[in-house]
Amino acid sequence: MLRFSANLSFLFLDRPFLDRFAAAAANGFKAVEFHFPYAFPVDEVVDAAHRAAVEVVLFNFPAGDWAAGERGIACLPDRVAEFREGVELAARYAEALACPRVNCLAGRRPDGVDEALLCATLVDNLRHAADAFAPAGRQVLMEPLNTRDTPGFLIDRTAPALAVLDAADRPNQGLQYDIYHAQVMEGDLARTLESALPRIGHIQLADNPGRHQPGTGEINFPFLFRHLKAIGYEGWIGCEYVPTGPTEDSFEWMV
Ligand SMILES: O=C(O)[C@@H](O)C(=O)CO
Ligand SMILES: [Mg+2]
């Protein structure tokens, strides 16, 4: 049985963030995820999740100035203090929300900084976050993003993500495998999911092209869902897609 989580940064965008929890529940979801809860007092987010009776299964560490185009700061040598303050903030939200995992976005490569320094900074920050989250038993994930939508993103494929996680070498860390980004960058979804399975802490999906719901593009989701069941994936699958119409009308693909 596959378990789907509603990504509230993509779905139900016709209503305020805190109202999306109830909308997810009304559409049958038992779990939600989102990019960032930090604009809202933690008690209000907890209250929204409790009233909707949904689990919060994932959100991101603070990732810099999103509106200005930043997509994470974890690789940036001049932003280490800011990243680590973000880890503390995320830990407070994760604790209050009983959220078991938080995703780290590596960030885009700045001009003129050596790649080895960017990777070393990322590894150090991942270690720091994992060590901060270990006592509570929470996991730190890292997600490759495709460089067509996010030019210059440092970690854009499965292999470099796993190499960085290997270098960080912490037991409570893992890969966030986003099927959409992986299809754009590398394809070979079924084999990669199988080989990376022990490292995967969370999966997200959208079809390609367009990043819409399954069934709108080239990815054979019925096959992938059978495959995920066959290889024994037991985690959540986040619905992180742009619905082609009203969100409520975008769930026909769900098994
Ligand atoms: O795939 C995505 O876009 C997200 O999972 C995210 O957290 C950062 O953009
Ligand atoms: Mg994603």
Residue 212 CA to ligand 1 center (angstroms) comes to: 14
Confidence band (pLDDT; 50, 70, 90) for 56? very high
Q: Rounded to two decimals, what is the model's pTM?
A: 0.98
Among protein residues, the one with the nearest Cα to ligand 1's atom 2 is 145
Residues 18-52 pLDDT 10s: 999 999 999 999 999 999 999 999 999 999 999 99
Residue 69: nearest ligand to its CA?
Answer: 1
**pLDDT for residue 187:** 98
Residue 176 CA to ligand 1 center (angstroms) comes to: 10
Q: To the nearest whole number, what is the mean pLDDT of the chain?
A: 98
Among protein residues, the one with the nearest Cα to ligand 1's atom 6 is 35
- Is 90 exceeded by the pLDDT of residue 178? yes
Is 178 a pocket residue for ligand 1 (Cβ < 6 Å)? yes
Residue 177 CA to ligand 1 center (angstroms) comes to: 10
Tell me which of 143, 147, 202 to substitute to probe ligand 1's pocket, judged by most ligand atoms within 8 Å of the beta carbon: 143
Residue 35 CA to ligand 1 center (angstroms) comes to: 7
The enclosing domain of 65 has a CATH number of 3.20.20.150
Ligand 1 atom closest to residue 180's alpha carbon, by position in its atom list:
1
**pLDDT for residue 34:** 99
Structural domain of 74: 3-249
Gap between the Cα atoms of 243 and 249, Å rounded: 8
Residues 90-124 pLDDT 10s: 999 999 999 999 999 999 999 999 999 999 999 99
Q: Judge whether 100 lies within some domain.
A: yes
Catalytic residues: 143, 240
Residues 153-162 pLDDT 10s: 999 999 999 9
**pLDDT for residue 31:** 99
Q: How many domains does the chain have?
A: 1
Q: Judge whether 80 lies within some domain.
A: yes
Q: Judge whether 177 lies within some domain.
A: yes
CA 231 from centre of chain: 21
**pLDDT for residue 38:** 98
Q: Judge whether 120 lies within some domain.
A: yes
**pLDDT for residue 158:** 98
Global ipTM: 0.98
What's the mean pLDDT in 219-225? 98
**pLDDT for residue 211:** 99
- Is 80 exceeded by the pLDDT of residue 255? no
Q: Judge whether 165 lies within some domain.
A: yes
**pLDDT for residue 44:** 99
Gap between the Cα atoms of 146 and 71, Å rounded: 12
Q: Judge whether 63 lies within some domain.
A: yes
Among protein residues, the one with the nearest Cα to ligand 1's atom 4 is 35
Is 33 a pocket residue for ligand 1 (Cβ < 6 Å)? no
Q: Judge whether 255 lies within some domain.
A: no
Q: Judge whether 254 lies within some domain.
A: no
